[in-house]
Amino acid sequence: MQIKKAYTQAVSRKYPEAVVIAIAKDGKGRYNPITLGWTMITSHKPPMMAIAVGLARHSRAVIEEAGEFVLAFPSSTMADAALFYGTNSGRDMDKMQEFPVATQPATEVDSVLLADAVANFECKLESQLVTGDHVLFVGRIVASHVNTDETVKRLYTLAPGYKMGGVVAAKVDG
C-alpha cells in the first residue's frame, strides 16, 4: 500500500542507481571527469545518451564549451575514483592529476577513455535542455569501447551518502 511522503523521503527508495563518469576537455587543456547518477539512454538509432549536470557545476561549462565528451561506465572496483570525481570540482583542481586512473586516448573526440571501466562511449553534444536546477546534455555516440575483461561489472550508488559498490542479481520470491 502507498502512503504520501515528502519527495526527498520517497526518492531515497531509488537505489541502487548506476553511475557514469563524463570526461570533457576544459579550457586549460585538462580532461575533467565528473561522476553522475542521473543518466539514461535516449535513442537507439542513432545511439544517444543523456546526463543531467547541475547548473552551477564547473562541468556544465566544460561540457558545453567542449561540445563533446566521453561517457564511461565505471566498474565496481572504481568506487574511490568515482567518489572523488563526483565530490570535488575541477574549478579548484586537476581532478585526474589529484586522483589518477588508467586512461587511453579516445578516437573520435578530444577526451580520454577510462581503461578499467566496463565500457566507454564517445559522444558529440547533440542537444541540451534545462530542467529545473540541472541541464540535460544529450550526446550522440560516435564510438564505443568495452573492457577486454568481460567479467567486470558496473558501479552503483547503493544508498544515500554516496555509498557505492557493485550489485548482483537477487533471488526473487513472489
Residues within window 43-72 making contact with a copy of itself, judged by CB under 8 A:
43-48, 50, 52
- 84/34 Cα distance (integer angstroms): 9
Q: Which is nearer to a copy of itself, 28 or 161 (CB)?
A: 161
User: Which residue among 109, 119, 123, 125 contacts a copy of itself (CB under 8 A)?
Assistant: 119
Q: Whole-number minimum distance, CB 172 to a copy of itself, in Å?
A: 5
CB 153 within 8 A of CB 166: yes
**93 binds a copy of itself per the rule CB under 8 A:** no
List the interface residues with a copy of itself, window 5-44 (CB under 8 A): 5-7, 9-11, 13-18, 37-44
Under the binding rule (CB under 8 A), the answer on residue 3 touching a copy of itself is yes
Sheet holding 31-36, edge to edge: 31-36, 20-25, 68-73, 119-131
- Distance in Å, CB of 10 to a copy of itself, minimum: 4
Nearer to a copy of itself, 16 or 28 (CB): 16
Least distance CB 48 / a copy of itself (angstroms): 5
> Nine-digit cell at 8?
526527498
161: left (phi over 0), alpha (psi -120 to 50) or beta: left
For a copy of itself, give the closer residue by CB, 61 or 158. Answer: 158
Q: 149 vs 34, 47, 159, 171, CA distance in Å?
A: 24, 24, 27, 26
R_g (Cα) of the chain, nearest Å: 16
Residue range at the interface with a copy of itself (CB under 8 A); choices 27-35, 57-65, 86-94, 129-137: 129-137
Overall size of the chain counted in residues: 174
